[in-house]
Amino acid sequence: KTNNTGSTNNTGGTTTQPAGQTDTGNASGEGKEKILRLGNISSPTGKFNPLYANDDYTAYINNLIFQSLVTVDANANLQPGLAEKWEVSEDSKTITFHLFQNIKWTDGEPFTAEDVQFTLEFMSDKNYTGLNSTYVQQIVGFDEVHNQTAEHLSGINVIDEYTIAITTKEVYASFYEKIGRGVGIIAKHVWEGVPLAEVEQRTELLQNPIGTGPFKLQEYKADQYTTLVKNPDYYEGTPKIDKIIIQVVNPDTAQAQLLNNELDMIRVESLNPDDIKIYEDAGFEVKSNLLNAYQHMVINFNDPILSNKDFRQAMAYAINREGIVASLLYGYGNVANTIYTKEFFAYPGDDAINDYAYNPEKAIEILSTKAGYEYKDGTLYKDGNPVKLTLIYPSGNKAREGAATVIQQNFKEIGIDLKLELVEFATLTSILQERKDDNFQLALLGNGFGADADVAQNVGTGGSNNHSQYSNTKVDELLVEGLTSLDNDTRAPIYKEIATILNDELPVIYLYNWERFTIVNPKVKNVNVTTYSFYEGVETWDIVE
C-alpha cells in the first residue's frame, strides 16, 4: 500500500484543541510524579540547539524541546507544526505560513514570525558552523546573507507577527522536508546577540535551551542522563507526563534494566524472537516501524570490474538477501531492490522492478555469458586471473556485520574471493568521503532519508552521499525535474522512473529495509511511534501504574 495521497493540501491539518489551562498541572496531583525513563545508547552532546546537533542522540532530546513549521504523520502526510496552515503561490515558489498565535517560548516570550526569520537567516550565515545550511540555500537572498552583503534574506517576508512568506529561487520540491520539517526554530531573543562563530562555545546557552516544544530541559548530565520536564504552556495541551528522563545505557544491559524496571522504554535496532518472547512474557509491548532507510553495498564505480553493470547485477543475484532478512533480521524487514521502501509513495511497485531473487547460478551465467568471466572449479576468472574483491564495513550494527560475512560466503559460491575489513564507522565514512579511485572497492553502509523523495545526494552526480560516484545523465535530469513541483502526485512518476532505473543500474546493491523496535512498559500509555517521529503525540502519553 503505497502512500502518496494527501499531504499536499496547501492548507493542511486540523487545528487541535487550544491549549487552555486544561490542567492545573501536577499541583493538584499530590500523587506521584509521572516520570518516563527512556534509554539512549549514547550520550547527547549537550548541543541543545537543533541547528547544531548532528547526531541522533541529541536530536532525540531536541525533538522534545524544539519544533519545526510543519510535521508529518505516519503516512508522510503534512501536519501543522508551529504553523497552523500555509498556502502556496501560483508559481509554487512562495509559501506563506500562518503561525499559531498562542505559542510561547518556555521563558515566557511569545513565539513570532521573527523567530522563524531569524532562524533561517542564522543558518544562511557564512559563520554558521552547523551542518544544515544546505537546507536554506534555495531561499532567495541566501547568497547575499551568506557572504554578509545583506542582513536579511530578501526571500523572506514577515507579513505580520504571525505570518511569514518564504520565497525560493526555483520551485523547491524539498521545501516541506528541509525548511518546513527540517529546521527546528530557535528563539531570536535568545540567540540574537551571539556572534555566529561563537555559538558552539556558548555552553551556557546551548545547555539551557529555550524552545516551544512539549518539554523543557531541566538537567543535563553528559554521559549520564538528561531530564526534561513538561512545558505546562505547551500549545497543544499540557503533557500528561511530568518528566522524561533520557538516560545513557549500555545496549548489552539495557534489556536487563527494562526488565528490572530501571527503564520504561527503549529503542532497539534489532531484536530476535527470543528477545521478543522475553519482553512479551514480561508483559512489555514491542512496537516496530519499518524505517525509511536501507542498507546497501556501496560500489566504487572507478573500479574496472565493478563499473560493469552485468557484474553488479550478478552480485545482486548472488547475495542471499532473503536469507539475510530471514536470519539476521529474523524477518523484521524486507529485501530492498531499489532506493525507496515499499511503503513510500515513490516506490514503483513490485512489478515494475526486478527482484534479483537469490540465484547464484544465474549470477554465474550472467558473468560468463555477458561479462566475459570464466567460472572454473569454483573460481571466477577474468582474463585468466581469479577475481578478488575487498569489502569494508563498519562496526556497530550486528545485522550488518553479519551480512558482510554472508556476502563473503555468497561470493565464494560464485567463485569470488571476498576479503572483509571491519573498520570503525567514522573511519569508513572518512574513506568514502575521500572519493578516491582505489581506496575501496565495496563497502556496506546504511542510509536513511526523511519524508521527501529527493535522492539527488544519493544518486545524483557528485551527490554528497553518492559514495559509489555513480553518474547517469538520465537520472540527473529526472532528479532536477522532480524538484520542479511541490506536489507529490506530480512528482511520483518521476521518482518511480528513477527508482526503476536504479533497480536496473544498481549504483549500489540494495540489501534490505529494516524495522526498528520500541519496547514499552505497559504502564506507559498512548505511545504511537511512527516511521517519521518517535514522539508522535508525546503530550498525550501517559503513565498509569
Contact partners, residue 102, CB within 8 Å, separation at least 6: 18, 19, 235
DSSP string, 460-513: STT-TT-TT----HHHHHHHHHHTT-S-HHHHHHHHHHHHHHHHHH-SEEEEEE
Q: Which stretch binds another protein (CB under 8 A): 246-254, 300-308, 382-390, 503-511?
A: 246-254
129 sits near another protein (criterion: CB under 8 A)? yes
- Contact status: 396 vs another protein (CB under 8 A): yes
How many CB atoms are located within 10 Å of the residue 59 CB? 16
Listed in sequence order, the DSSP H helices in 212-308 are 251-259, 273-281
Closer to another protein at the Cβ: 41 or 293?
41
Instruction: Out of 61, 70, 173, 249, point to the residue binding another protein (CB under 8 A).
Output: 249
Residues 67-126 touching another protein, rule: CB under 8 A, are: 126
Q: Which stretch binds another protein (CB under 8 A): 79-87, 187-195, 244-252, 331-339?
A: 244-252
Identity of the residue, 396 or 450, whose beta carbon is nearer to another protein in the bound complex: 396
Helical spans, DSSP H, in 21-112? 56-65
Helix (H) or strand (E) segment spanning residue 335: strand 333-335
Interaction between residue 323 and another protein (CB under 8 A)? yes
Q: What is the DSSP letter of 94?
A: E
Question: What's the min distance (Å) between Cβ of 16 and another protein?
Answer: 29
Total residues in contact with another protein, by rule CB under 8 A: 72
Bridge partners for 221 per DSSP: 225
Q: Is 381 or 425 the residue whose CB approaches another protein more closely? A: 425
Site for another protein in 456-515 (CB under 8 A): 464
- SS3 state at 458: helix
Residues 273-292 that bind another protein (CB under 8 A): 274-275, 278
Shortest Cβ 260–another protein spacing (Å): 6
Q: Which is nearer to another protein, 284 or 347 (CB)?
A: 284
Residue closer to another protein by CB (options 231, 488) is 231
What is the nearest approach in angstroms of another protein to the Cβ of residue 167? 22
x/- site string to another protein, residues 200 to 239, per CB under 8 A?
xx-x--x--------------xxxxx-x------------
Strand pairing report for 293-299 and 508-520: antiparallel
Sole window of 17-25, 106-114, 255-263, 338-346 interacting with another protein (rule: CB under 8 A): 255-263
Q: Which stretch binds another protein (CB under 8 A): 24-32, 117-125, 271-279, 310-318?
A: 271-279
**Would you mind telling me the total number of residues written for the chain in this entry?**
545
Helix (H, G, I), strand (E, B), or coil: what is residue 215?
strand
Q: State the amino acid at position 101 in one-letter form.
A: Q
Q: Is the Cβ of residue 355 or residue 434 nearer to another protein in the bound state?
A: 434
Cα–Cα distance measured from residue 102 to residue 257, given in angstroms and rounded to the nearest whole number: 40
How near is the Cβ of 545 to another protein at its closest, in Å?
15
| Smallest separation, CB 401 to another protein (Å) | 6
Report how far residue 189's alpha carbon sits from residue 118's, in angstroms, rounded to the nearest whole number. Answer: 9
How far are the Cα atoms of 291, 330, 393, 399 from residue 324, in angstroms, in the given order?
17, 8, 16, 8
Q: Using CA atoms, how far apart are residues 8 and 353, in angstroms rounded to an integer?
A: 27
Whole-angstrom distance, CA of residue 367 vs CA of residue 30: 73
Cell of 502: 536504479
User: With respect to another protein, which residue has the nearer C-beta, 54 or 89?
Assistant: 54
82 vs 120, beta carbon nearer another protein:
120
Q: Which is nearer to another protein, 123 or 156 (CB)?
A: 123
Q: How far is the CB of 96 from another protein (least distance, A)?
A: 28
Query: Counting contacts by CB under 8 A, is residue 24 touching another protein?
Result: no
Give the one residue of 7, 13, 37, 519 binding another protein; rule: CB under 8 A: 37
What is the distance between the alpha carbons of residues 125 and 144, in angstroms, rounded to a whole number?
A: 9
Contact range with another protein by CB under 8 A, out of 2-10, 390-398, 484-492, 505-513? 390-398
The sheet with strand 163-167 has its strands ordered as 83-88, 94-99, 163-167, 156-160
Three-state secondary structure of 246-315: EEECCHHHHHHHHHCCCCCEEEECCCCHHHHHHHHHCCCEEEEEECCEEEEEEECCCCCCCCCHHHHHHH
The interface with another protein within residues 401-460 (CB under 8 A) comprises 401-402, 404-406, 408-409, 420-427, 430-431, 433-434
